[in-house]
Structure 1
Amino acid sequence: MLAGGVLIGAVNIYLAASLLPTTVADIGGERLYAWNMTVFLTAQVVATMLVNQILSRRGNIGSYLLGFGVFALGSVVCAATPNMPVLLVGRAGQGLGAGLLTGLGFTLIYSALPRRLWVRGSALVSAMFGLGNFVGPALGGLFAQFGSWRLAFVALALTSVLMGAFVPRVLPTSDRTGTGAEAGTPLGSLLPIIGAAGAVSIAGIVSDTPTMMMLLGLALASILVFVVTEKRSRVRVLPRSTYQPGSALRWVYSTIVCLAAGVAVETFLPLFGQRLGGLPPITAGFFGAALSLGWSSSQIASSSARRERTARWLRVAGPALLATGLAVLALMQRHDAPRSLVLAWLPVLLLAGAGIGLAMPHLSVAAMTGTPDKEEGAKAAAAIATVLTLSTACGAAVAGLLVSLGGPSTVDSARCLLLGFAAVSALGTLTALRADRLARRTEPRPESGPASKAGPNSASGSNAESGSRSESVSAYGSTSEGPRGIRVEDVSEGRR
């Protein structure tokens, strides 16, 4: 259920993009064509930020029913639309529903699954983004081929209703705590993020490079306003420990940003495959989805890692592998590339995508365990969806800018795009190392000395044992919370 809710939203993004040319030919509204993605992404980001407030009011089942219901209603509006303005209203409804379902997917991993399943749950849910990138264009192209774009939206609505019918049967019930409702809606945080999402989305559709750079600058300024507002606000979107000195959580989120943004290169890979490799459209489209395929498939293997040392290695190795793959692919770009070289793109893309899959589930769990407080942990889990959604939108805009900067040569555009995101991914390696270093500092260390050698039946041994069981500190939380160690008393000598 958690994975299916995320998959619906992920498929819808690319399915709608494939259908829009046919839709515009039928109902008109070409001037508003580009606003479809802007409206959807902005609504999706906003909804992910409201997950905890909705959960506190409606509980698990009520929140999921609301998410599926809003998405289905938006899809029905899209299917019955007489013109483009009404279609935009439907797309906003789809975005709100998809954002809520995406945020709930990560939040309920934290609250509804046992700790031992968090990595596997995160891997399955995260893999839906890659699977949506693969399935969405195929389904959209199929419906568009037969001119049945309205039927595609009907199919989305029916799927949402069908999944909603199973919600009461498969999801655990939860109390309506009212905590999030009493705290209020984080309007101070919402407004700058809405501005950032809107600026980024518009930047991705303009062709003028100076205007695009200005919009990206506006988006960056909006994000800075968001951070400043969050630090001072009583009602936050991100966990409190994100803004505390010495916290690894901010670096975990930064690594997720670097990984998720790298997926934006997929948008232009089919273009490069056709122009540089001479591939037919269908084959070029498959090359474009290879990154997502590597992402989705590798997460299943990565989720089997149980040792913390292995998880740390994967969190660092993932961005490094993505950066290496994109850099190698950039060097392989050339005019009239021989077929053997073009075919070699495929394993490189699969390996690059595997870098995302290796690290993402363990980064998600690192975020969830970034604070010992249960309510803050749920907020940290929901924030993963916000970070992923906003990173994807930002990545698409930056990708358009890099391609424009590399033009008019297709080879130069391809290299500029791939090397640019290779640099972003390499930055993710540094942020992952920083998170790991801070996490190691906050881990409790055993004390040395005579007292630590006390037998299991002594008072000192009992106190140490009970303390280590009852008191723990999250490796990815703030250094200002939780114990730094356990004081051992040497009762036999009457001293501490």
Structure 2
Amino acid sequence: MSADDYESTSGQARAAAGLPGPMIVLAGGVLVGAINIYLAASLLPTAVADLGGASFYAWNMTVYLVAMVVATMLTGRFLSRWGNVGAYLLGFAVFTAGSLACALSPAMAVLLAARGVQGFGAGLLSGLGFAVIRSALPPRLWTRGTALMSAMYGVGNFAGPALGGLFAQLGSWRLAFAVMAVVSAGCGALVPRVLPRVLPGVRRGVLSGGGHDRDLRPPVPVGSLLLVMAAAGAVSVAGVLAGTLAKAAGIGVAVLLMAGFVVHERGSELRVFPQATYRSGSSLKWVYLTLGLLACGVAAESFLPLFGQRLAGLAPLVAGFFAAAISLGWSLTQIGSSSVTGGRAVRRLRVLGPVLLAAGLLVQGLLQREETPLWLVAVWVPVLLVAGAGIGLAYPHLSVAAMSSTPDPEEGRRAAAGIATVTSLSIAFGTAVAGVLVNLGGGSMLDSARYVLFGLAFLCALGALTAHAANRTDPALAADRA
């Protein structure tokens, strides 16, 4: 039996035996990481009052996101080294340890280090959530599986601020991290029972008839890793710098570093993304770009509470729930979108998603007013739900396109793990861009709100062009057209 046959047979048999178990583990891993992106933001004012270190306030998000992006890049390495079960146990163990360290932190410096550990575990779990679908589920369920994984980002973006605000209201910021540790440990305990045991890379040489134990574990792409770390760091730092020029310079450095990353990957044998990403005529690069532009729209949620409080006089807790409408629309829409089949329908949803997201943000910008009346605030919510629905329509089909971009299982897992890398990095990049746009408004919150919403709408609209390019170059959809 070949390695490919072993993976397919064991995964489908396990999926047929009991879908809820694998899906709880896969979805739970993505969810705990997504929740903690914004959980700490709600808890930090209380934590700073307890620990001090206000000057390091913004670095909690920076450290977490950088560690998360790096970990998603290493997902393929961990899968090849320890297999599905081992990699997942490691991810949950690291996240649990980081969460406990956050809960017990005696000083802000320790909290920062713990957030880095927590972010690394979250990134690994996010990457695994997409990569392991290939072996945990049969191909006919890949679309619904990826829809559930990506929906967890929406649920996490909704639940994170709400849970953080609740525990901050109770004055128990340490308890919030302790609860996340318990949830993570519970999911980790399920791993050996429900996931298929795909053998690690060192055994694949035997299964594929190599005649001896050949170590097929991919070496760590150090050059690519350093460039992405630097780019992620520059984006995150740009989001917290004072002054528009400083923010713009930080984003410019990040763009140059990402350009260097692409050049390095094209000419290197050690890559983060599959070789098909850089091949002429391949659809994978357009798929990744579309996913990234969709994820940029989520960055609006970081600033919508501010606009709701300043322009409409909403209470902080109400403004937080109002801001999560994009994520809620994203999550709910994927329930129906994931069941859509047929090449023509899939092509339309891929393009319609970015258009709908951009239109929602554009209309939301046009509806901004000083001293917004309550009836107009009520209109904001469905508009933001429609914007989030744009992500939900396209995201699962783009994710499956990435997973199915190559028949090679190792490259397929790398392509799937790249979904989490692109999503995390794009949210960080979009947040930094939105931070620059807020400053362009100067002292006018109305102008700041319009700059942010119009600017993000423009970025998301570009996703319609990249989605069209992905449709045109996707061999599966081309065959369907024929």
TM-score, normalised with respect to structure 1: 0.88
Q: Distance in 2 between matches of 1:71 and 1:17?
A: 18
Tell whether the 8 Å contact from 1:297 to 1:354 is kept in structure 2 after alignment.
Answer: yes
Deviation per CA, 1:246-295, whole angstroms, max 9, x where unpaired?
Answer: 11111110000110011101111111112222222222222101111000
Q: Distance in 2 between matches of 1:349 and 1:25?
A: 34
Once the two structures are TM-superposed, the CA of residue 441 in structure 1 deviates from its matched residue by 9.4
Q: Distance in 2 between matches of 1:231 and 1:262?
A: 28
Q: Distance in 2 between matches of 1:241 and 1:289?
A: 35
Once the two structures are TM-superposed, the CA of residue 215 in structure 1 deviates from its matched residue by 0.7
Tell whether the 8 Å contact from 2:162 to 2:320 is kept in structure 1 after alignment.
Answer: no
Aligned counterpart for 2:110 among listed residues 86, 110, 124: 86
Once the two structures are TM-superposed, the CA of residue 384 in structure 1 deviates from its matched residue by 0.5
Q: Distance in 2 between matches of 1:307 and 1:438?
A: 17
Once the two structures are TM-superposed, the CA of residue 446 in structure 1 deviates from its matched residue by 11
Is 1:367 the counterpart of 2:391 in the alignment? no
Aligned counterpart for 2:151 among listed residues 124, 127, 150: 127
**Match of 2:172?**
148
Q: Distance in 1 between matches of 2:308 and 2:92?
A: 37
Distance change in 2, residues 1:138/1:169 (3 Å): same
Distance change in 2, residues 1:367/1:147 (3 Å): same
**Match of 1:7?**
31
* Aligned 1:143-182 pairs, distance under 5 A: 143-178=167-202, 182=217
Is 1:229 the counterpart of 2:253 in the alignment? no
**Match of 1:267?**
302
Tell whether the 8 Å contact from 2:343 to 2:481 is kept in structure 1 after alignment.
Answer: no
Q: Distance in 1 between matches of 2:70 and 2:99?
A: 18
Q: Which amino acid aligns with 2:164?
A: G
Tell whether the 8 Å contact from 2:296 to 2:430 is kept in structure 1 after alignment.
Answer: yes
Tell whether the 8 Å contact from 2:80 to 2:217 is kept in structure 1 after alignment.
Answer: no
Q: Which amino acid aligns with 1:285?
A: G
Aligned counterpart for 2:119 among listed residues 92, 95, 98: 95
Q: Distance in 2 between matches of 1:367 and 1:429?
A: 17
Deviation per CA, 1:35-71, whole angstroms, max 9, x where unpaired?
Answer: 1111111110010000011011101111000000001
Tell whether the 8 Å contact from 1:111 to 1:378 is kept in structure 2 after alignment.
Answer: no
Aligned counterpart for 2:73 among listed residues 49, 69, 72: 49
Tell whether the 8 Å contact from 1:70 to 1:96 is kept in structure 2 after alignment.
Answer: yes
Once the two structures are TM-superposed, the CA of residue 161 in structure 1 deviates from its matched residue by 1.1
Q: Distance in 1 between matches of 2:255 and 2:425?
A: 12
**Match of 1:321?**
356
3-state SS in 2 of match to 1:310:
helix
The structure that is helix-richer by fraction is 2
Q: Distance in 2 between matches of 1:102 and 1:182?
A: 20
Once the two structures are TM-superposed, the CA of residue 332 in structure 1 deviates from its matched residue by 0.8
Q: Distance in 1 between matches of 2:172 and 2:298?
A: 29
Q: Distance in 2 between matches of 1:253 and 1:183?
A: 22
Aligned counterpart for 2:447 among listed residues 393, 396, 412: 412
Tell whether the 8 Å contact from 1:28 to 1:84 is kept in structure 2 after alignment.
Answer: yes
Is 1:282 the counterpart of 2:306 in the alignment? no
3-state SS in 2 of match to 1:235:
coil
Is 1:106 the counterpart of 2:130 in the alignment? yes
Once the two structures are TM-superposed, the CA of residue 373 in structure 1 deviates from its matched residue by 2.1
3-state SS in 2 of match to 1:183:
coil
3-state SS in 2 of match to 1:354:
helix
Once the two structures are TM-superposed, the CA of residue 442 in structure 1 deviates from its matched residue by 8.2
Q: Distance in 2 between matches of 1:446 and 1:396?
A: 38
Q: Which amino acid aligns with 1:90?
A: A
Distance change in 2, residues 1:59/1:440 (3 Å): closer
Q: Distance in 2 between matches of 1:389 and 1:362?
A: 18
Q: Distance in 2 between matches of 1:192 and 1:54?
A: 20
Once the two structures are TM-superposed, the CA of residue 440 in structure 1 deviates from its matched residue by 5.7
Is 1:430 the counterpart of 2:465 in the alignment? yes
Deviation per CA, 1:10-48, whole angstroms, max 9, x where unpaired?
Answer: 111211111111111111111111111111111100100
Tell whether the 8 Å contact from 1:53 to 1:181 is kept in structure 2 after alignment.
Answer: no
Distance change in 2, residues 1:181/1:75 (3 Å): farther
**Match of 1:255?**
290
**Match of 1:190?**
225
Q: Which amino acid aligns with 1:3?
A: A
Is 1:200 the counterpart of 2:235 in the alignment? yes
**Match of 1:137?**
161
Once the two structures are TM-superposed, the CA of residue 306 in structure 1 deviates from its matched residue by 1.5
Q: Which amino acid aligns with 1:277?
A: A
Tell whether the 8 Å contact from 1:276 to 1:335 is kept in structure 2 after alignment.
Answer: yes
The number of residue pairs the alignment matches comes to 447
3-state SS in 2 of match to 1:276:
helix
3-state SS in 2 of match to 1:172:
coil
Q: Distance in 2 between matches of 1:232 and 1:199?
A: 24
**Match of 2:253?**
218
Q: Which amino acid aligns with 1:248?
A: S
Q: Distance in 2 between matches of 1:23 and 1:282?
A: 18
Q: Distance in 2 between matches of 1:299 and 1:445?
A: 23
Tell whether the 8 Å contact from 2:471 to 2:477 is kept in structure 1 after alignment.
Answer: no
Q: Distance in 1 between matches of 2:275 and 2:160?
A: 36
3-state SS in 1 of match to 2:189:
helix
Between the aligned residues of both structures, percent identity stands at 60
Q: Distance in 1 between matches of 2:480 and 2:296?
A: 37
**Match of 2:330?**
295
**Match of 2:97?**
73
Deviation per CA, 1:367-398, whole angstroms, max 9, x where unpaired?
Answer: 11112322211110010010001001101101
Aligned counterpart for 1:238 among listed residues 246, 260, 273: 273
Distance change in 2, residues 1:145/1:228 (3 Å): same
Q: CA RMSD in A?
A: 1.6
Deviation per CA, 1:307-359, whole angstroms, max 9, x where unpaired?
Answer: 12211110010000001111111111111222212211111000010000010
* Aligned 1:311-390 pairs, distance under 5 A: 311-390=346-425
Q: Which amino acid aligns with 1:252?
A: V
Q: Distance in 1 between matches of 2:460 and 2:452?
A: 12
Distance change in 2, residues 1:358/1:442 (3 Å): closer
Q: Distance in 1 between matches of 2:279 and 2:69?
A: 24
Q: Does 108-117 or 41-50 show the bigger shift? A: 108-117
Tell whether the 8 Å contact from 1:272 to 1:410 is kept in structure 2 after alignment.
Answer: yes
Aligned counterpart for 1:306 among listed residues 338, 341, 354: 341
Q: Distance in 1 between matches of 2:285 and 2:192?
A: 35
Once the two structures are TM-superposed, the CA of residue 181 in structure 1 deviates from its matched residue by 5.9
Instruction: Pick the structure with greater CA Rg.
Output: 1
Tell whether the 8 Å contact from 1:334 to 1:411 is kept in structure 2 after alignment.
Answer: yes
Q: Distance in 2 between matches of 1:383 and 1:91?
A: 22
3-state SS in 1 of match to 2:240:
coil
**Match of 1:469?**
none
**Match of 1:118?**
142
Q: Distance in 2 between matches of 1:288 and 1:295?
A: 13
Q: Distance in 2 between matches of 1:35 and 1:429?
A: 34
